[in-house]
Structure 1
Amino acid sequence: MAAWAERLAGVRGVLLDISGVLYDCDAGGGSAIAGSVEAVARLKQSHLKMRFCTNDSQKSRGELVGLLQQLGFDISEDEVTSPAPATCRILKERGLRPHLLIHERVRSEFDEIDTSNPNCVVIADAAESFSYQNMNKAFQVLMELENPVLISLGKGRYYKETSGLVLDVGAYMKALEYACGIKAEVVGKPSPEFFQAALQAIGVEAHQAHG
């Protein structure tokens, strides 16, 4: 107990990853990692401010939080920073109309975004929707633009499910970068802006946080 308190001396906030840290996902939903429910409860009883961060772009925040609550976690949607809402803010601020190559379960996050006459491409972990036809369509949209913009919800190479390792969005992002000769804008981990947004949400400076 004393050692735990000593490690957190001077720390005001904690950023917690979700997938692979709190739970492992699988086709049936997922299972909590041993001790994670208790660890979150213990942190919430402390003086520390908390924010949950995720690059999961196969689920809306509501769906993800619902799953975590079923697994026993004390968590609300307002406590989660995820790339889809952050991407929507960027699209609105810059007047961008995306062609969406995303998972159907996260499409609701973009309901208020104009997708007519696309002037950019947004790519996320689309899983089975990463077909040749869909990748080629995203490629064509980018190549037809005078100033192509590719926004990716993360750039992970792969992640772990209970069934094994699976490809993440980064592999497909790199394919489009290579084919189009462009550089993607990453919204989500490991983008510093993503973590800064999470810290701002809890009113903590970077040097006062632990992750």
Structure 2
Amino acid sequence: MAEWGERLAGVRGVLLDISGVLYDGDAGGGTPISGSVEAVARLKRSHLKVRFCTNESQKSRGKLVGRLRQLGFDICEEEVTAPAPAACQILKEQGLRPHLLIHDEVRSEFDQIDTSNPNCVVIGDAGEAFSYQNMNKAFQVLMELEKPVLISLGRGRYYKETSGLMLDVGGYMKALEYACGIKAEVVGKPSPEFFKSALRAIGVEAPQAR
């Protein structure tokens, strides 16, 4: 106990991953990892500030939080840092109009974004929408641009569901990078700016967080 007390000395905040840390997803909605509901509750009763960070790009924040609450977690949408809202902020700031290669369940996050006459591509974990036709359309959009911009909602290789390991967005992102000779801007883990935005949200400096 003393050792843990020393490790937590000066710590003011905690960043928690969600998928594979709090719960394992599946077609039925997922199941909590043993002890995770209680651990989150204990953290929230402590003096520590808590922020949830996720690369989830198959669900909107609202749907993700709704499912987590059904599983027993004490969590609200405003406590979650996710790549889709962060990408929307970038699109607005840079005047970008995306061609979206994303999962239908996350499209609502982009409702206020102009997608006419695209001048960039946003790619997320599109699941079954990762067909040849859809990948080729994203490729064509990028190749037609004088200065192609590819924004990826994460660059994970794979993730775990109760049914097994699932291929993530990173492989598809790399395919477009290679085909178009460009470098994607990653919005989400492991981008340092993603974690910095989560820390800013809870008013904690990096040395004060775990």
Which segments of 5 or more consecutive residues in structure 2 lack a partner in the other structure? Answer: none
For 1:167 and 1:137, the matched residues in 2 are separated by 20
Give the SS at the match of 1:29: coil
Match of 1:170 in 2: 170
For 1:21 and 1:4, the matched residues in 2 are separated by 20
Q: Does 1:208 align with 2:189?
A: no
For 2:202 and 2:5, the matched residues in 1 are separated by 21
Q: What is the one-letter code of the residue matched to 2:78?
A: D
Give the SS at the match of 2:37: helix
Post-superposition shift, 1:5? 2.9
Equivalent residues in 2 for 1:1-211, closer than 5 Å: 1-210=1-210
Q: TM-score, normalised by structure 2?
A: 0.99
For 1:163 and 1:133, the matched residues in 2 are separated by 27
Deviations 1:81-119 (A, max 9, x none): 000000000000000000000000000000000000000
Which segments of 5 or more consecutive residues in structure 1 lack a partner in the other structure? Answer: none
For 1:70 and 1:2, the matched residues in 2 are separated by 36
Q: TM-score, normalised by structure 1?
A: 0.98
Post-superposition shift, 1:3? 4.0
For 1:65 and 1:185, the matched residues in 2 are separated by 26
For 2:70 and 2:175, the matched residues in 1 are separated by 37
Give the SS at the match of 1:72: coil
Give the SS at the match of 1:151: strand
Deviations 1:145-191 (A, max 9, x none): 00000000000001111111110000000000000000000000000
Post-superposition shift, 1:8? 1.1
Give the SS at the match of 2:15: strand
Q: What is the one-letter code of the residue matched to 2:118?
A: P
Q: What is the one-letter code of the residue matched to 2:84?
A: A
Q: What is the one-letter code of the residue matched to 1:106?
A: V
For 2:75 and 2:2, the matched residues in 1 are separated by 27
Give the SS at the match of 1:159: strand
For 1:108 and 1:176, the matched residues in 2 are separated by 24
For 2:51 and 2:179, the matched residues in 1 are separated by 37
Q: What is the one-letter code of the residue matched to 2:71?
A: L
Give the SS at the match of 2:73: coil
For 2:161 and 2:13, the matched residues in 1 are separated by 28
- Of stretches 181-190 and 6-15 in structure 1, the one that deviates more from structure 2 is 6-15
For 2:202 and 2:127, the matched residues in 1 are separated by 32
Give the SS at the match of 1:87: helix
CA RMSD of aligned residues (A): 0.7
Post-superposition shift, 1:140? 0.1
For 2:69 and 2:6, the matched residues in 1 are separated by 30
Number of aligned positions between the proteins: 210
